[in-house]
Structure 1
């Protein structure tokens, strides 16, 4: 049996689909993971996926492409060349699987399963109902199980990635604290000045601190790292970042992809969690974590990309010492001598 698992959103969303992908792969001879461009790097890191297909759907992402007949025709042709026997369409709790289900049906996929609050007509063979307040990773796995796919014996259902490459050329030793100040969604970013103060406070408390960020965040990471931390801004692709996180004692980050990557390599997370989406669905999954921020702020549940409340109170009420205390909860009290970066 050939199976297709679709998750068209971002890097972190695809990582959260990992347990469901492994469950499908355990019961299928060949598993294709269909994702969007922003999730492709994560898709290639997931165990269980035999093939990764990338399509920029016009209803997904922050800057979706225009609807073009030729693009849709190309997608349909790709699926028709070797259609799967079954497809699982994974979505967040507030998204509809039906646009993709329609195209997959048109491409000849005989069995399609998805969570759907909307009436699916003939588009779904399995219309599953997501359990209330369910974490995104657990909800995806629930759908896989309802479709007849279960994790193999010994798989604990946590997030996982393929073994990351060594990161010795970037940072030596283990036990350091990684601070990742950026986020693709502005409403989920902590104030850079407060983040820099937290880095200095962590260093004063005896922690070795490493600051990470993407190629477009070098100015941000340099300002946050200052003289107190090793600045790796722009120096880590997804694999290298996984390697850095795998040897860290804890990650400090917002609700963003690296937090889920840390969970996938088993590293605890201090999450500066803006409640624009609910923590019960998006908190770090399967690892010890501490959530900082005001879950009752006025922005709660708004799904806003830009903070709708002046002063960003949900996160700006968090201070540097709050971060130090949260890190202390997740690390051993005696740090011992640490190798300099």
Structure 2
């Protein structure tokens, strides 16, 4: 089975999709569709077989122009991957429906997401939204609704594999050799406190 996990935001958001990705990986290959600001995080997640980068115009800020050629290209790309099911993971303030429309046009036979809006035929499984559910758990619930479960012994915590390159950045003006983690998150609630 090949599962596409769409999380189109930045690194912090993609990291929070980790437990859902590990659950989907128990059934086969997982392809992550993410934005350019989420690729580094996707490279760190266990269970990811392939990463497809796409700058989604309704997610990035500032928003890029919606161009038919770009939409047609991503539809063709997803069609060529031939996934069996797609999980559209979003924050509580985002709608999964524009992404679900693209996936449906690409021929994805089964799409699962959370949505406050009526999805019509865009979603096969729709979970009602609850803004109080933490994002990692929101994503894992979508994976469970698609029929995936974490492997035995997996506690569902966030986890990463050894990074392909350094994730530490030298600290300017700090003590010699001082470093700090270089993790990027989007909106304030997901950033580390200062």
Q: How high is the TM-score relative to the length of structure 1?
A: 0.52
Q: Are 1:5 and 1:87, in contact at CA under 8 Å, matched by a contact in 2? A: yes
Aligned to 1:21: 21
SS class of match (1:257): coil
Aligned partners of 1:132 and 1:9: how far apart in 2? 17
Aligned partners of 1:39 and 1:164: how far apart in 2? 14
Aligned residues between the structures: 193
Question: Shift of residue 83 of structure 1?
Answer: 2.1
Larger radius of gyration: 1
- Please show how residues 148-297 of structure 1 align to structure 2 within 5 Å: 148-164=147-163, 213=169, 221-223=171-173, 225=174, 228=175, 230-232=177-179, 241=181, 257=184, 276-277=188-189, 282=190
Aligned to 2:103: 104
* Structure ranking higher on relative contact order (CA contacts 8 Å, 6+ apart): 2
Q: 1:66 to 1:26 in 2, by over 3 A?
A: same
Aligned to 1:78: 77
Query: 4+ runs of 1 displaced by more than 4 Å?
Result: none
SS class of match (1:160): coil
Question: Shift of residue 134 of structure 1?
Answer: 1.1
Aligned to 1:114: 113
> Which ranges in structure 2 are unaligned for 5 or more consecutive residues?
none
Aligned to 1:91: 90
Q: Are 2:85 and 2:108, in contact at CA under 8 Å, matched by a contact in 1? A: yes
Cα RMSD after superposing both structures: 2.6
Question: Shift of residue 20 of structure 1?
Answer: 0.4
Residues 48-93 of structure 1: CA distance to partner in whole angstroms, max 9, x if unpaired? 0111111111111223321111111111111112321100000001
Aligned to 2:12: 12
Q: Which has the higher helix share?
A: 1
Question: Shift of residue 2 of structure 1?
Answer: 1.3
> Which ranges in structure 1 are unaligned for 5 or more consecutive residues?
171-211, 234-240, 243-255, 259-273, 285-291, 293-314, 316-341
Aligned to 1:30: 29
SS class of match (2:5): strand
